[in-house]
């Protein structure tokens, strides 16, 4: 599995300094995730789940160690190249949706496509397809303030998949939703997982983790179970 | 890689109060810059227009920069009339105007202490200043004055207090207003003209301030200069009027500089105010900026969008200011350094306003936009 891992982390460490004190939310972590796997990362607050997700997305940089995604050493990319790599390869789903309030659902979903060499017609077709996939074809012209929390998260998922990235990272995507909306979002993620995307889901909700192919537990920056 | 323009446009509507403040604030600053420019142009244009190329002014040697300080013999007018070739002759009258220029406090409407610029002359003045047109009444005789149409503004009195029929007092001598004249675009319009002998008596002076000659077309002003050089006994200097007013323009240069400096200092203050507002506005978008970066938008794309947003607000203010300026400056005159000048807004004024508006938008938004990108991405994404 190590050889054909889509995600490969070795000795991954993230250290912050707070005065004389060193804090390591991720500490010497090794992780392998094969392509197409739906992995759930669980752990209590402060266990390093979100930090790991940020390191995988290239949003944060490790203090030590190596992150390879699809054969690319993400931690070695320059800021500019990292932004371009992220635009092509990562779809990110946030707990609080992080939609741009001044843009409609359509325009929010269109954002990642503005970074790709696509015509307006191609962008339109892809956005409509993504919004249809999350069941929001009838809400394209709505602004985030006109949508429910569940609908906002579905728009965020459409935004994360519209450019068809090989890696989908979800940070507590159901953490701010009621049970019904959360179930709908998890069903959506499960169906995306079945279509061969590599998904890493961070959650502290065991029900949410059930939709994943594999569950790993994090505590104090280390995996409690050996990497599969 | 760029964010859509509509993102910048829509962001303007996020906080209508801030938008109104930004638009009005930039409108005020741009208006100030346009006013400074229009006034500067007005001063320069008026001084240029006042000096006629066919007029020569004879002044006392050594007083080339101030006709008020100049003193020349009362015989100079007659001697110059006889001695300088090429003086214009109108119906047997030579265009030679002896003048006394006198600044003194005037009593208007029973109130004293209005500093007036008085010019004592003879009807020949109308021959040397063909752009002076009586719009009401007639040329003054002894005991009378006529007023430029903007003299009231220079004095700071009501227009009706200088209408024909009104009586003003100069050094306790009553003078009836019998006429009002226009001389478009020249400094003459803020003056009060009196009879030459009246002013000589009131000012208690034997001498003239100057003699103004109007030459025939094609006549050479050098003849007047030669006359001044030859008649050493008169101690004269002959200056073509444009040269004299160019020297006068130098007197206004520091005043114009101060006007610009004041406008620019206020504009700089406004930039700091704008910076403060935008720091607060953009600080509320740190998470959104983090999200856009996570999606792959590079920092320059975000900075450009924020600058677009700020420029839109400041340019809206610029348009507002330009419209107001075109309407308000049209008939506005301002007193500067003892002269009254019409504001002169032109394409250059609009350009100055545009540059000021763009500078406000650009300088006011760049530091807040850059600061918004400063927090590390994980921290930005966690911002509430």
pLDDT tens string B57-73: 999 988 877 788 889 99
Is the pLDDT score of A227 beyond 50? no
**ipTM for the complex?**
0.92
pLDDT at A144: 96
**Chain A CB contacts of B14 below 8 Å:** 101-102
Cα–Cα distance measured from residue A136 to residue B250, given in angstroms and rounded to the nearest whole number = 72
Interface test with chain B among A15, A45, A59, by most B beta carbons within 10 Å: A59
Q: With contact defined as beta carbons under 8 Å apart, do B295 and B1 qualify?
A: no
What band does A20 get if pLDDT is binned at 50, 70 and 90? confident
Across residues B22-43, what is the average pLDDT?
Answer: 92
Residue A87 and residue B292: Cβ atoms within 8 Å?
no
CA-based diameter of chain A, in Å?
A: 55
Joined tokens for residue A12:
């991954």
pLDDT of residue B113: 87
Q: How far apart are CA A144 and CA A17, in angstroms?
A: 37
Q: What DSSP element (H or E) covers B181?
A: strand B173-182
d(CA B250, CA A89): 68
Looking at the fold, whether B120 and B175 belong to one and the same domain comes out as yes
Cα Rg for chain B, rounded, in angstroms? 29
**B2, B10, B298 ranked by CB distance to A103: nearest:** B10
What confidence score (pLDDT) does residue A3 get?
Answer: 52
Q: Do A60 and B378 touch (CB under 8 A)?
A: yes
B224 and B300 assigned to the same domain: no
Record: contact B295-A101, CB cut-off 8 A: no
Say if the Cβ atoms of B14 and A102 lie within 8 Å: yes
| Strand partners of residue B133 | B182
Question: Per the domain annotation, does B142 fall within a domain?
Answer: yes
User: Is residue A1 scored above 50 in pLDDT?
Assistant: no
Chain A to chain B Cβ contacts (< 8 Å): 66
Distance between A210 CA and the closest CA of chain B, angstroms: 26
Mutate to test the interface with B, among A102, A120, A170, A176 (most CBs of B within 10 A): A102
CATH number of residue A95's parent domain: 3.40.50.300
Give the minimum alpha-carbon distance from B286 to chain A in angstroms, rounded to a whole number.
Answer: 11
Closest CA to A92 of B296, B265, B53, B59: B296
Q: What DSSP designation does B164 have?
A: T
Domain co-membership, B104 together with B220? yes
Structural domain contains residue B170: yes
Residue B337's pLDDT is 64
B326 is in which domain, residue-wise? 5-48+252-382
Nearest-CA distance from B284 to chain A in Å? Answer: 12
Note the residue count of chain A. 228
Mean pLDDT of B128-143: 94
Partnered with residue B119 across adjacent β-strands are: B101, B193
Report how many domains make up chain A. 1
Is B192 found in the same domain as B106?
yes
Phi, psi angles (nearest 5°) of residue B3: -75, 150
pLDDT of residue B153: 86
Q: Is residue A171 part of a domain?
A: yes
Q: Are the C-beta atoms of residues A149 and A176 closer than 8 Å to each other?
A: yes
Tell me the average pLDDT across B289-316: 94
B213 and B293 both lie in a single domain: no
Closest CA to B59 of B244, B249, B237, B247: B237
B169: which strand partners? B107, B174
* Residue B42 and residue B96 in one domain: no
The DSSP line for B60-109 is: ETT-TT-TTT--B-TTHHHHHHHH-TTB-EETTEE-EEEEEEEEEEEEET
Minimum distance, in Å, between the CA of residue B33 and any CA atom of chain A: 34
B353-381: per-residue pLDDT in tens?
Answer: 999 999 999 998 999 999 999 999 999 99
Which residues on B lie below 8 Å from A142 (Cβ)?
none
Q: Test B295 with A159 for CB contact under 8 angstroms.
A: yes
Contact B7 A115 (CB under 8 A): no
Give the residue on B whose Cα is nearest the Cα of A110. B4
Q: Which residues 6+ apart lie within 8 Å of B366 measured at CB?
A: B303, B307
Which pLDDT score is estimated for A203?
Answer: 92
Average pLDDT over every residue of B256-280: 87
Q: How far is B24 from chain A (nearest CA, A)?
A: 23
Interchain pair B378, A54: CB under 8 A:
yes
Residues B229 and B256 reside in one and the same domain: no
Q: Are residues B325 and B368 in the same domain?
A: yes
Beta carbons of B364 and B310 less than 8 angstroms apart: yes
CB contacts, 8 Å: A101 with chain B: 14, 288
Do residues B321 and B34 make contact, with C-beta atoms less than 8 angstroms apart?
Answer: yes
Give the pLDDT confidence score for residue B338 in this predicted structure: 61
Compute φ and ψ for B89, nearest 5 degrees.
Answer: -115, 120
Structure tokens at B229: 């050089």
Per-residue pLDDT tens digits for B202-240: 999 999 999 999 999 988 889 999 999 998 888 999 999
Q: Does residue A228 lie in a domain region? A: no
| Number of domains making up chain B | 2
Range scoring the smallest mean pLDDT among A35-39, A124-128, B232-236: B232-236
Residues A86, B296: C-beta atoms closer than 8 Å: yes
Chain A residues within an 8 Å CB radius of B282: none
The answer to whether residues B43 and B77 belong to one domain is no
3-state SS string for chain A: CCCCEEEEEEEEEEEEEECCEEEEEEEEEEEEEECCCEEEEECCCCCCHHHHHHHHHCCCCCCEEEEEECCEEHHHCCHHHHHHHHHHHEEEECCCCCCCCCCCHHHHHHHHHHHCCCCHHHHHHHHHHHHHHCCCHHHCCCCHHHCCHHHHHHHHHHHHHCCCCCEEEEECCCCCCCHHHHHHHHHHHHHHHHCCCEEEEEECCHHHHCCCCEEEEEECCEECCCCC
Same domain, B320 and B213: no
Domain for residue B60, yes or no?
A: no
DSSP lists the bridge partners of residue B339 as B336
Could you say which of B2, B11, B293 has the minimum Cβ distance to residue A102?
Answer: B11
B63 part of a folded domain: no
Q: What is the CA radius of gyration of chain A?
A: 17
pLDDT digits (tens, 9 = 90+) for A140-161: 999 999 999 999 999 999 999 9
Q: How far is A60 from chain B (nearest CA, A)?
A: 6
State the residue range of the domain holding A125: 5-223
Q: Where is average pLDDT lowest: A27-41, A67-81, B252-266, B267-281?
A: B267-281
**CB-CB contact of A141 with A106 (8 Å):** yes
A214-228, B248-262, B331-345, B355-369 — which one is most confidently predicted on average?
Answer: B355-369
Could you give the CA distance from residue B281 to residue A61 in angstroms, rounded to a whole number?
Answer: 29
pLDDT at A53 over 80: yes
Residue B122 has pLDDT above 50, yes or no: yes
A→B interface, C-beta within 8 Å: 50-51, 54, 57, 59-60, 80, 83-84, 86-88, 92, 94, 98, 100-103, 107, 111-112, 114-115, 159
Q: What is the dihedral of CA B39, B42, B48, B49, to 10 degrees?
A: -160
Query: Which chain A residues contact residue B10 at CB under 8 A?
Result: 102-103
User: B292: buried, middle or exposed (CB in 10 Å: 19+, 13-18, 0-12)?
Assistant: buried
pLDDT at residue A226 tops 60: no
How far apart (Å, rounded) are the C-alpha atoms in residues B241 and B165?
33
Pairing of strands B339-342, B167-170: unpaired
B148 and B273 belong to one structural domain: no
Query: In the predicted model, is pLDDT for residue B196 greater than 90?
Result: yes
């Amino acid at each position: 599995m190590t050889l054909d891992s889509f995600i490969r982390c070795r000795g991954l460490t993230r250290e912050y300094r707070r005065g004389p004190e060193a804090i390591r939310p991720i500490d010497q972590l090794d992780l392998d995730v094969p392509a197409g796997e739906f992995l759930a990362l669980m752990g209590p607050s402060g266990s390093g789940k979100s930090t790991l997700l940020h390191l995988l997305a290239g949003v944060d940089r490790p203090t030590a160690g190596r992150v390879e995604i699809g054969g690319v050493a993400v931690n070695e990319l320059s800021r500019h190249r990292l932004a371009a790599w992220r635009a092509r390869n990562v779809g990110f789903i946030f707990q609080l949706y992080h939609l741009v309030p001044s843009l409609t659902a359509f325009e929010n979903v269109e954002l990642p496509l503005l970074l790709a060499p696509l015509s307006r017609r191609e962008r339109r077709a892809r956005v409509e397809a993504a919004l249809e996939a999350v069941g929001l074809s009838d809400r394209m012209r709505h602004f985030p303030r006109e949508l429910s929390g569940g609908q906002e998260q579905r728009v965020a998922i459409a935004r994360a998949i519209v450019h068809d990235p090989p890696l989908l990272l979800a940070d507590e995507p159901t953490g701010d939703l009621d049970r019904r909306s959360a179930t709908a979002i998890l069903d959506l993620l499960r169906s995306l997982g079945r279509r061969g995307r590599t998904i890493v889901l961070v959650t502290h909700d065991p029900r949410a983790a059930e939709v994943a192919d594999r569950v790993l537990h994090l505590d104090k920056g280390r995996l409690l179970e050996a990497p599969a | 890689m760029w964010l859509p323009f509509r993102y910048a446009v829509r962001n303007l509507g996020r906080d209508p109060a801030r938008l109104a403040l930004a638009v009005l604030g930039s409108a005020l600053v741009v208006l100030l810059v346009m006013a400074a420019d229009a006034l500067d142009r007005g001063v320069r244009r008026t001084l240029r227009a006042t000096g006629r190329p066919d007029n020569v002014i004879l002044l006392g040697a050594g007083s080339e920069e101030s006709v008020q300080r100049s003193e020349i013999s009362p015989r100079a007018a007659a001697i110059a009339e006889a001695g300088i070739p090429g003086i214009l002759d109108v119906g047997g009258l030579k265009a030679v105007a002896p003048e006394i220029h006198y600044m003194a406090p005037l009593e208007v409407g029973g109130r004293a202490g209005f500093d007036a610029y008085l010019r004592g002359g003879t009807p020949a003045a109308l021959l040397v200043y063909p752009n002076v047109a009586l719009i009401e009444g007639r040329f003054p005789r002894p005991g009378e004055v006529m007023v430029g149409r903007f003299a009231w503004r220079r004095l700071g009195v009501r227009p009706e207090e200088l209408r024909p029929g009104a009586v003003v007092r100069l050094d306790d001598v009553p003078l009836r207003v019998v006429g009002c004249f226009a001389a478009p675009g020249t400094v003459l319009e803020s003056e009060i003209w009196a009879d030459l002998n009246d002013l000589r008596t009131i000012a208690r002076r034997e001498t003239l301030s100057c003699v103004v000659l109007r030459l025939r077309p094609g006549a050479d002003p050098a003849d007047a200069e030669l006359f001044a050089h030859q008649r050493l006994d008169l101690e004269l200097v002959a200056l073509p009027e444009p040269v004299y007013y160019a020297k006068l323009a130098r007197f206004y240069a520091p005043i114009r500089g101060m006007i610009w400096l004041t406008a620019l200092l206020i504009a700089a203050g406004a930039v700091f105010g704008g910076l403060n507002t935008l720091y607060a506005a953009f600080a509320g978008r740190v998470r959104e900026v983090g999200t856009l970066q996570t999606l792959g938008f590079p920092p320059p794309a975000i900075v450009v969008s924020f600058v677009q947003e700020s420029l839109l607000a400041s340019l809206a203010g610029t348009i507002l200011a330009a419209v107001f300026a075109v309407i308000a400056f049209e008939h506005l005159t301002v007193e500067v350094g003892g002269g009254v000048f019409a504001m002169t807004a032109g394409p250059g004024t609009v350009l100055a306003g545009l540059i000021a508006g763009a500078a406000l938008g650009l300088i006011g938004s760049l530091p807040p936009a850059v600061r918004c990108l400063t927090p590390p991405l994980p921290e930005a994404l966690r911002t509430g």
